[in-house]
Amino acid sequence: MNILVTGGAGFIGTNFIRHARAVKPDWRIVNLDALTYAGNPANFEDLAPKQAERYRFIRGDIGNASLIEQIFSEESLEGIIHFAAESHVDRSILGPEKFLETNIMGTFRLLDKSLKFWKTIGRPDGFRFLHISTDEVYGSLGPNGYFTENTPYDPSSPYSASKAASDHFVNAYFRTYDLPTIITNCSNNYGPYQFPEKLIPLMILNILEEKPLPLYGDGKNVRDWLYVIDHCDGLIKVFEEGKPGETYNIGGGEERQNIEIVHLLCDLMDKRLGRSGRKSSRGLIHFVTDRPGHDFRYAIDSTKIQQELGWSPNHRFEEALEATVDWYMNHMGWVNSVRSGEYRKWIELNYESRNKLAK
């Protein structure tokens, strides 16, 4: 298999490429990534020299139509696994435009060039387009119920609205032009290589550095957490065995309130750092102004992928969270390399006003 992975230098893309190299030795992967603040080519430094013929990195924008056309002309691609996106809700609130450019226009350009290429290969099943999306397109749940593949779209943030729009275009390319597309809508991922602007890595590093732990609102919002490697396994299954035109929801079945996660992280890290009593990290928790339009709860019903493709998560939350904490504590070189000047600017922008209004 010769596959184009977009956004392969980001969190899930990196884990996907590293995992696929281990479990799919016959795959060759071309990684197209613009290397925004969230992408880091150093994630592959230890792999690159060994098997260069199985991996090619191209720095570029998915919205660059002529570059996409050039890649199709150079590589006999059998599929695209499309991760590239602007992915952080808080950034989308403070600056939505980039989200429309990458998530909507970028996806459209990839679809359009894929269609042109697919028409030339003469085998309808010789190519497939897997679009990686999020459960956030379904909006917010109350205390009960689950998102299924039939839940109507109801996005709340500019991020989820842009992902919803891209999903609609992917489906339109299947229904209108028969392009073999598949969509996955996944719950919150955690694990190694996640950029420390998202809840879990941000809290790990703030605990380590004894900085305030900013919980939005009352900290009781609920997310359904999935270990990133379980997500990658699900994506390989869907890519290989999923049915074109279908959507598959992928979830961890591990619902937690944000405050429960932060408590768990404080306790796990206090054990490692020898903190207790008045020094306990729970004392760093700080309730700050809520995120506007903050979705209360996400929870996925994964019955379809479990029954049709035989996928289910292999990792339990508490164990995999512990492994994630250890990964960050043992990879401070990686952490420091991604926390550039741009990162510090973001932290100031997002948290300064929230902290001023802290309860």
Residue 94, C-beta contacts closer than 8 angstroms, at least 6 positions apart? 349, 350
Task: Calculate the dihedral angle through the C-alpha atoms of 224, 293, 235, 243, rounding to the nearest 10 degrees.
Answer: 110
Question: Is residue 296 a contact point for ligand TYD (CB under 6 A)?
Answer: no
CA distances from 302 to 96, 125, 224, 248 (A): 30, 26, 11, 8
Smallest gap from Cβ 323 to ligand TYD, in A, equals: 18
Question: Is residue 224 a contact point for ligand NAD (CB under 6 A)?
Answer: no
- Residue 46 designated active-site: no
Residue 4: closest CA among 66, 98, 51, 73: 73
Q: Which of residues 44-103 bind ligand NAD (CB under 6 A)?
A: 61-63, 83-87, 102
Question: Is residue 38 a contact point for ligand TYD (CB under 6 A)?
Answer: no
Tokens of 80: 């695209």
Of the pair 20, 38, the CB lying nearest ligand NAD is at 38
Question: Is residue 199 a contact point for ligand NAD (CB under 6 A)?
Answer: no
Question: Is residue 30 a contact point for ligand NAD (CB under 6 A)?
Answer: no
Residue with nearest beta carbon to ligand NAD = 10
Give every strand in the sheet of 128-134, ordered side by side. 55-59, 28-33, 2-6, 79-82, 128-134, 181-186, 247-250
Strand partners of residue 189: 226
> Of residues 20, 38, 202, 213, which one binds ligand NAD by CB under 6 A?
38
Of the pair 55, 281, the CB lying nearest ligand NAD is at 55
Q: Which of residues 121-180 bind ligand TYD (CB under 6 A)?
A: none
Of the pair 286, 291, the CB lying nearest ligand NAD is at 291
> Of residues 2, 19, 24, 35, which one binds ligand NAD by CB under 6 A?
35
Question: Is residue 129 a contact point for ligand NAD (CB under 6 A)?
Answer: no
Question: Is residue 180 a contact point for ligand NAD (CB under 6 A)?
Answer: no
Active-site annotation holder among 33, 61, 86, 136 = 136
Smallest gap from Cβ 166 to ligand NAD, in A, equals: 8
First to last CA, the chain: 54
Contact (Cβ atoms closer than 8 angstroms) between residue 302 and residue 249: yes
Residue 242 contact, options ligand TYD, ligand NAD, none, Cβ 5-8 Å cut-off depending on partner type: none
Smallest gap from Cβ 251 to ligand TYD, in A, equals: 13
Count of positions on this chain that bind ligand NAD (CB under 6 A): 30
Coil, helix or strand at residue 308: helix
Residue 265 contact, options ligand NAD, ligand TYD, none, Cβ 5-8 Å cut-off depending on partner type: none
Strand partners of residue 33: 59
Question: Is residue 39 a contact point for ligand NAD (CB under 6 A)?
Answer: yes
Active-site annotation holder among 159, 227, 298, 328 = 159
Coil, helix or strand at residue 159: helix
Annotate 316-358 with DSSP letters as a single string: -HHHHHHHHHHHHHH-HHHHHHH--HHHHHHHHHHHHHHHHT-
Residue 358: closest CA among 306, 297, 287, 309: 287
> Of residues 14, 40, 43, 221, which one binds ligand TYD by CB under 6 A?
221
- Residue 159 designated active-site: yes
Residue 247, C-beta contacts closer than 8 angstroms, at least 6 positions apart? 149, 167, 182, 183, 184, 185
Interface residues toward ligand TYD, by CB under 6 A: 89, 188, 198-199, 202, 214-216, 221, 223, 258, 291
What is the set of active-site residues?
A: 135-136, 159
